[in-house]
Structure 1
Amino acid sequence: MISGMGLATGGGSGRKRTSGLAEIGKKYTGIDNRNRLADPLLRAKIARHDLNSRAFGLTLQRMGEEMKSGGPSATASMGKYYGSEQNKLRYEIMLDAMGLSGLGWEGEPFSLEELAITREWLRSKANSIEGGTTEINLNVISKRVLNLPD
């Protein structure tokens, strides 16, 4: 599930039809005279998300090694929880950059990419439900970390 969200490597999975965050930002907010995104707040959000996605990819590699050692662990729940949150945030940042263009459902004046992003944003909300709800994953994490009985 997590790798399918395009988060394990910090990039997009092949099945997504949408551009990356930086490309969306450039398209809708433009660039400044230093060839950076014109909106410094959006630039910071994208940079933070990119760093977190890269760190998450490395964490997933480490988690995979830990899971091989066996025993009850909060590892899978932590991955599911953080992965779903990162994916939802990715689409929130896209909509932030796109403004009203990110809220179309059909027809003019929205492009096919804008419509796809809107639908994928709505679909990303289900990430906190599939694979166990966010609340269940957080409960598993707390039980395992605190060594509480099941």
Structure 2
Amino acid sequence: MTKDSVGVVKLQPWVMLSGEKYSSEGNLEAHYYHAKDNDGKVLFTTKSGQLRKNPDYVLLALPEGQKGVMYKLVEQGRYPELPSNPSFEVPSQWKVQNVEHEQAERYYWYALEVVSDILTNLDTKIEVPRGQSPRYSDIDLFKDRVNVYIQQQ
């Protein structure tokens, strides 16, 4: 993929091992607000795999494009490997599940730095491509929608 590409990951509802349920929107907001409170850093984990096209950015989005948040992809890997910078961590509500389940099950992870506020009304044909995620897009489709973070890089 060319420079300044975006990996689009569509968030699904998440059921914790404890039975607690998070909607797709709850999942999106948990990662966003954790990053905002953690110097812009968050660790996103997934069972589905790595971003194979090595994008520069990741858009975590609701499946129908109602909301999303843009992040810079700093590093990605798979447990038992850990991020090289330990300040990338999962939101607090996932910490126990991460250690007891996700790491043991060898989940994939993305170390992300937030570069936008919550974006709304994304185009579901262009900005959030149809089909299973991850999908890939061009950052130029988002430049007028995100904060100055991306333009400064």
Fold-level similarity (TM above 0.5): no
TM-score class, shorter-chain normalisation, is under 0.3
What's the TM-score once normalised by structure 1's chain length? 0.25
Structure with the greater alpha carbon radius of gyration: 1
Structure with bigger RCO (C-alpha 8 Å, 6+ apart)? 2
Scaled by the length of structure 2, what TM-score is found? 0.25
Question: Which has more strand, going by share of residues?
Answer: 2
